[in-house]
Amino acid sequence: MRIALCQLNPTVGDFQGNVALMDNALARASEEHPDLAVFPELFITGYPPQDLLEKPWFIDQAKRALSSVSATSRKYPEIGILTGTVTRSDRPSGKGLRNSAILLRDGKVLATVHKSLLPTYDVFDEARYFDPGEEIRPIPFNGEVLGISICEDAWNDPSLWHRPIYVRDPIAELAEKGATVFVNISASPFHAGKAEIRYHLFARHAVRHGIPFVVVNQVGGNDELVFDGRSGCVSPDGTLPAYLPAFDESVRIVDLARAANGQSFVPDDEIESIGRALVVGLRDYVRKCGFQKVAVGLSGGIDSAVVAALAAEAVGPSNVFGVTMPSPYSSTGSSEDSRVLAENLGIGFAVIPISDIYQSYLDELQPYLSGPEVGVTEENVQARVRGNILMALSNESGHLLLSTGNKSELAVGYCTLYGDMSGGLGVISDVPKTTVYALAEHLNRDSEIIPRAIIEKQPSAELRPNQSDQDTLPPYDVLDGILDLYVDGGASPDEIVSQGFAAETVNWVTRAVNRNEYKRRQAAPGLKVTSKAFGSGRRMPIAARYEP
């Protein structure tokens, strides 16, 4: 059997556009005469549709879009089409919807398969919307028996979990019932290291059952989630006769009759993958939200420099506008470094000093301030003046303002509400500070885009005389190590101390994380690139009193 792997980038709710993407892919694939063309999970609706699934009109539109797909399939009568969509359930109780895979050919629905395992962890909340499929059965098609599964159906592997979270193993059931090829349609989001996890998961299925495993994963960004694609086929010997590129749309044919002795799996460079994920996520957020241009405040620091560089790659330098806003405490080098960065990137650039505006605030607030010294209130006034200027420029020009805070700062609240947290998208809000430095070096791999002075200077908010981040925070390598264990790994303070970190530092960091939940709840949506991002995948109470 010849299978077309159609790794595409749908938009949530854009039924007409998604069906058009399918039509174009089929036109390309048809030149190589595949027997079956496979599209990702919930491709017709786009993934994740979230509470749109609670709107009856949305389900009606999805049904009409499936009729359009049926009409499209008549143009290619020899090609089976396997795609994901939402369907209504005929059960008298439950949610009334299914996450389904539909197999069509020549305008007719040959089979409908429902997702059995509905994830409700991290960013997933599928039991909120769907009823699980009860029946698991392979589907005969063109001389093969298709073991069709939908994303999570393939993830009930004992090696992934501390304890099993599902009773059933759909892949094993499909093998027992005679499947000759596994086909998984997927919308599996990216995080660093996940490609290797996926490969080993699918390879275990293929090798254990002696059956090739075909997977088609979505690509592109939708809100905080970035999908990396990396669709392919794993042979029973664990090799890859087909492996589609990461983060790009692609249509490729795999011939199962010639699927032996493929290439070995080689993990991608982690920093390169994170950089590409951020570029794709930013590009699609801008495009799918209807923006064309972005603005970024340039502080002369590494965070804003990396965001500006990623933005220039994502939407083009001519669509990026950088603004530096020196205050009384800004170093001369900060403004100059920002100017050099803008020239290196070829982006728009402006200097808007804030000293007079800042002084106006202080003059009006003077009766209410505790003294002449620069404290947190005065520091935050500067950040908020900058945030207001950037938002005013965004209002006037229609640019999407990008916030530039990193995960380390956001974790411990080293950021200002309505100041540097202003913006419509947190590009690096899931990127630890140490990884920001690695990204800067990666961006400079061919030539110096980010000036060395920015990379090598001591990090500082420059909101008071001679300020350094390390006046308030532990060294970033220490901070990020603790945050990785506490936020991403779920370790307790005692467990973190047992890893060699100082108890005083651990207690300060974990308490700072806990008490700054209220700030993060008000932050811009941020692109997810780690296994546990702040946002929809981490739901912590604000009004709470707890001590781990």
Evaluated on CA atoms 75, 79, 85, 89, the torsion sign reads positive
CATH class for domain 2-259?
Answer: alpha beta
Residue 461 has pLDDT above 80, yes or no: no
- DSSP for 268-336, written as a single string: PPHHHHHHHHHHHHHHHHHHHTT---EEEE--SSHHHHHHHHHHHHHH-GGGEEEEE---TT--HHHHH
The per-residue pLDDT for range 64-88, each reduced to its tens digit, is 999 999 999 999 999 999 999 999 9
Which position among 126, 144, 151, 415 bears the catalytic label? 151
Length of the chain: 548
* 41: annotated active-site residue: yes
pLDDT, residue 467, reads 67
CA gap 37, 507 in Å, rounded: 54
Could you give the residue range(s) of every CATH 3.40.50.620 domain in the chain? 274-469
Which position among 115, 293, 407, 532 bears the catalytic label? 115
CA gap 205, 458 in Å, rounded: 49
Percent residues over pLDDT 90 in the chain:
88
Q: Which of 115-124, 239-248, 279-288, 324-333 has the lowest mean pLDDT?
A: 324-333
CA gap 517, 33 in Å, rounded: 54
Residue 460 has pLDDT above 80, yes or no: no
Q: What is the CATH topology of the domain spanning 274-469?
A: Rossmann fold (3.40.50)
* 115: annotated active-site residue: yes
Which position among 6, 41, 407, 409 bears the catalytic label? 41
Q: What do you get for the CA distance between the two ends of the chain, in Å?
A: 55
The per-residue pLDDT for range 465-501, each reduced to its tens digit, is 766 777 778 999 999 999 999 999 999 999 999 999 9
pLDDT, residue 511, reads 96
CA gap 456, 78 in Å, rounded: 61
pLDDT, residue 547, reads 85
* 462 pLDDT tier (thresholds 50, 70, 90): low
* 151: annotated active-site residue: yes
pLDDT, residue 448, reads 95
β-strand pairing of 232-234 with 242-243: antiparallel
Tell me the pLDDT of the chain averaged across its residues: 94
Could you give the residue range(s) of every CATH 3.60.110.10 domain in the chain? 2-259
pLDDT, residue 90, reads 85
The closest of 351, 349, 347, 268 to 314, measured between CA atoms, is: 347
